[in-house]
Structure 1
Amino acid sequence: MADGESPPWAELVPDIVREIGRHLLCEIDRHHADGLCRSWRDALLQLRPPPPPLPRLVLPEADGPAFYCVPSGCRPHPFVLPPAALRARCFGSYDGAWIFQAVDQAANHVLLNLITHQQLNLPNLLRFHSFMLPALIFDFEVAFVAATLSSRPTDQGCVGAGIISFNRVPHDPRHIAFWCMGDEAFSWSIQMTRNIGGALELDVVDLLYSSHGAGAFLFLTRREDIHVFRQPIFPQGDVMQSTPLYFERRGDDDDDDGRPVLDRYLVESRGKLLMVVRLGDREPARLPTTTFRVFEREDELFNNYWNKLPDLGGRMLFVGRGCSRSYEAADGYPGMEGVYFLDDRSFHDPMVVHMNAADRQYPCSDNGRWSGAQPPAEVERCFPEQGRSNYSPPVWILP
């Protein structure tokens, strides 16, 4: 193309440009199209803004994390990361492009904003006083496995909740713990069955912060019961109370069609609490996820039970520990109903933290979308194939 000559796409009639623009559901793609030339920018200005942004999948590729966008056909978008974040272990995310990371794989937990690069420190220690000698303080180094927040991390009074393990005792059961943003350690106790310092031992598989009422942290157990910790999380004194919600049993670890349950997640949608159950094969292949079931919490008098939904009803559910979110296909994503999932099998590995880089093998291949309960319900591998990572499992980035 000669100097001063208009590019060929600049001659497209505005109606064609606008039709192209209607298929650009991603704000970044629309921005790139705006920058092609003035005629495109003028035509695209006449369109409605793109729909609300969706989470992006971060795949830990060999040369650093890659950010894949669902509305762009699961293609990658570039992000500039600080050098220390390129090989960090990710263990969750929060709205506004905040990501939980263990920068040194274990001993340096931070919350990083991918847009502003602001970094906030998280607790690295579990601290408690001796029962016999209160002046004697014990510190234990911990590793985060999953986490979430009560509000934006820069808000005054923001409280965090995490599922943690102990670095020196990796095969001990997981614990849950809370902290105020800015704390360097967990430093209080919970009076419930089996507690150590500020951590409660439970067979917890997911956590969620619900903003209903005064707000509460919800912890889902393998038995599909929920432990509720209501605000204020830190009352006067050293006693923290929780309310257990026991649900009628659906059965054992097999679903009604005989498939084993791989994982369970909590997500709020349309004012209701949902439990998403991930199912697989008895002889798992390299990509074990085969289907999902979605249940809605129902209660009658003092009984709680999980009611199976016949279909997704237009929902787009992005599931991940501590960061599951619900969106509506009707908001501008036609035909994109489904459950979007990532490979979080390393959550069940008691050695989720490996100090030796050669031992770190985080599965990253079981990612995709389940199209819904109505035929043809199937799992679509819409993200690129990815081998095991030696620094992090995949994670969602929440808009």
Structure 2
Amino acid sequence: MVPPPAAVARRSLSLDHEMFLDFLVLVLSCLPCIADRGSFASVCTLWRRAAGLSDAPPPAQLPWAIFPSATAASTVFSILSASTRRIYLPTELVGARLCGSHPGAWVAATGHVPSGGNVAINLLSREMVPLPNKKLAPLSRRRAIQLLEGEGPEPLIRQRAEKDVAVRAIAFSDAPNSPDCVAAAITEGVYQPSVAMCWLGAQPQHWAVPWTIPAGVQDVVYFEVGGNLKPSFYLITNWDALFVASFVDDTQILVHKCRVQWPTDDMPTLPANVYTSRYLVVSRGHLLMVRRYYSYSKSDGTHQTMLFRVFELQNQTLDLSWLELDSLGSRALFLARCSSRAFELPANSEIKPGSIFFLDDITFGESVAATKNDNQYNRNDMGVYYKDEPGLTWPHLCSNLFGAKNFVAFLKHEGKMEIMLFDNLQELETYVGNKPIEVEIKGCIRRFNWEQATKCPTPIWFAH
């Protein structure tokens, strides 16, 4: 019996409907960013049904960069989707200076929140954890040097006098609302910032046991070595000295200076206008130290990042040494003071393995001054660095958000070395000419296309 025409039409429509659903599910699998998947599901009922039919979980997410503004509406940049979006920050973060973050949607703000204090807030749940606004009086510089340069760990006993604290950057051991969370903060001081710690789970009223590192701390990271149950923070100074700080109880902290052997350096001397900044990152159970090389102009105070090198701490119990890594494998690094993270790249990501994303936080002490003096923050030295040949191109998705690619070259001539950026090989050949110069290409760098300066605080990475 031949079915009536109406039944044939309904069956054809049903088949087309199912085929379209299968097509939508296939499209969804090509969207690695959870924000894109959320937008996909909000189109209509049919698309939302397709999102529910997908069995494949979203790939591991990479952090977003938050660009705060003077209003609740702020801009975030997603690395996976290479696009910007709007996000509405909690009232406590409007106009605040973000000084740290922790996986699970936690960010820390200081100095300019409405209450005038410090706070950690979860951007998804809106849960808020107050951070201390006061710190105990620091040890004398002479006493601190004696403790930090000793052979073994020495206790630092907290003192009673209190004063206000301006946090420059903060690192957490766990989520700030965890009873086991310990925080370490780099506090005010442009040339010799001090370090303070507190046990947030104990609901402290102040930062305990601040002390001054003689050489100046550049970064802090939480890291547990060899099953050590004591909360330990690693600190790196501007002279590559490595320290470990651990809580004994709520009144004492042990500080130990590590003896770390350096490998033979192929950059024994830097050009006069090139300087180094350092970051600590925990990745695959190891501690990484990243050196960031940048040029600095004393005439106008501007700086420009040129090169990154990554070192891994070896033999983490005895005979410590740094080993330079030739490759990061499938990882990408996201650098920020006290909040650097390493991520394994998803299989369908267009991000080049070994990429190092960086923010404009070389002179991160200026962010405190800008909050007080209402100056402008710089945003002209943010981008991504990766080892690559000059002929290769960055994925097309990022072409509108990143500037032109430069490649980094080492130039050695008559015992002197230069680190320079070039737009293309022709520019390098013109510069070298017929001079007997040794040329080695180290990598490529591209910068974000953002405004160079703004009165809004500098951005920070936000990990889901």
TM-score of the aligned structures, taking structure 1 as reference length: 0.81
- Aligned partner of residue 152 in structure 1, secondary structure: coil
Matches within 5 A, 1:1-150: 13-44=20-51, 45-46=53-54, 48-61=56-69, 65-73=74-82, 75-104=83-112, 107-128=116-137, 137-150=160-173
Residue matched to 1:280: 294
The partner residue of 1:271 within 264, 285, 293 is: 285
Instruction: Give the Cα–Cα distance (whole angstroms) in 1 for the partners of residues 138 and 41 of structure 2.
Output: 60
Q: Does the 8 Å CA contact 1:57/1:69 hold for their aligned counterparts?
A: yes
- 1:311–1:373: 8 Å Cα contact kept in structure 2? no
For each residue in 1:7-40, what CA deviation from the matched residue of structure 2 results, as whole angstroms up to 9, or x when unmatched?
xxx8983454344323211112112112223443
Superposed, 1:210-225 pairs within 5 Å as 210-212=223-225, 213=227, 214=229, 215-225=231-241
CA separation of 1:123 and 1:151: change in aligned 2, threshold 3 A:
same
Pick which of 143-152 and 272-281 moved more. 272-281
Q: Does 1:344 align with 2:361?
A: yes
Residue of structure 2 in register with 1:246 after alignment: 259
One-letter amino acid of the structure 1 residue matched with residue 63 of structure 2: P
CA distance in 1, matches of 2:367, 2:377: 12
Tell me the SS of whatever aligns to 1:385: coil
Q: Which residue of the partner structure matches residue 388 of structure 1?
A: 453
Q: 2:287 is matched by which residue type in structure 1?
A: L
- What's 2:205 paired with? 184
Q: Which residue is equivalent to 2:312? A: 296
Contact 1:206–1:321 (8 Å) recurs in 2? yes
User: 1:68-121, CA deviations, whole angstroms, 9 ceiling, x for partnerless residues?
Assistant: 111111x22332222341100111111111111125269411111111222221
Distance in 2 separating the partners of 1:32 and 1:350: 34
Deviating more after overlay: 98-107 vs 308-317: 98-107
Q: Is the 8 A contact 1:84 1:103 kept in 2?
A: no
1:41, 1:154 → 2: CA distance? 34
- Percent identity over the alignment is 27
- CA deviation map 1:144-184 (0-9, x unaligned): 0111112121221321111101xxxx556200011121212
Distance change >3 Å, CA 172–CA 345, structure 1 → 2:
closer
Q: Give the Cα–Cα distance (whole angstroms) in 1 for the partners of residues 172 and 316 of structure 2.
A: 30
Distance in 2 separating the partners of 1:163 and 1:183? 17
| TM-score, with length taken from structure 2 | 0.70
SS at match of 1:352: helix
Q: How does 1:319-330 map to 2 (within 5 A)?
A: 319-330=335-346
SS at match of 2:261: coil
Q: Specify the code of the residue in structure 1 equivalent to 2:206.
A: A
Q: Distance in 1 between matches of 2:317 and 2:138?
A: 42
- Aligned letter for 1:216? S
Q: Does 1:175 align with 2:188?
A: no
The residue type equivalent to 1:57 in the other structure is A
Q: Residue 171 of structure 1 contacts residue 351 of structure 1 at CA under 8 Å; is this kept in 2?
A: no
Q: Does the 8 Å CA contact 2:275/2:296 hold for their aligned counterparts? A: no
Deviation of the 1:228 alpha carbon? 0.9
Measured in 1, the distance between the counterparts of 2:339 and 2:317 equals: 30
Alignment gaps of 5+ in structure 1: 1-9, 189-197
- Structure 2's unaligned 5+ residue stretches are 1-16, 141-158, 393-442
3-state SS of the aligned residue for 2:364? Answer: helix
> Contact 1:125–1:142 (CA<8 Å) still a contact in 2?
yes
Q: How far does the alpha carbon of each residue in 1:330-379 deviate from its partner, in whole angstroms, 9 at most, with x for none?
A: 4542544211111113414396354232xx22212222221336665311
Of 328-337 and 23-32, the range deviating more from structure 2: 328-337
- Matched-pair contact (CA < 8 Å) for 1:344–1:394: no
Tell which structure's C-alpha radius of gyration is larger.
2
Contact 2:74–2:88 (CA under 8 A) maintained in structure 1? no
Kept in 2, the 8 Å contact 1:90–1:101? The answer is yes
| Aligned mates of 1:300, 1:396 — CA distance in 2 | 28
Alignment RMSD:
3.4
What corresponds to 2:401 in structure 1? Answer: none
8 A contact 2:331–2:344 mirrored in 1: yes
SS in 2 for 1:323: coil
CA gap 1:301/1:387 in 2 versus in 1, 3 angstroms: closer
Letter in 1 for 2:212: L
Provide closer, same or farther for how the CA distance between residues 335 and 126 of structure 1 changes in structure 2, counting only shifts above 3 A. closer
**In the TM superposition, what whole-angstrom CA distance separates every residue of 1:235-269 from its partner, at most 9, and x where no partner exists?**
37x54322211223468996777583442111111
2:455 alignment partner AA: N
- C-alpha separation in 1, matches of 2:69 and 2:184: 28
- How many Å separate the matches in 2 of 1:387 and 1:60? 15
Between the aligned partners of 1:151 and 1:98, the Cα distance in structure 2 is 10
Q: Of 377, 386, 389, which aligns to 1:362?
A: 377
C-alpha distance in 1 between matches for 2:257 and 2:116: 32
The one-letter code sitting in structure 1 at the alignment partner of 2:377 is: Y
Q: 1:273 to 1:127 in 2, by over 3 A?
A: closer
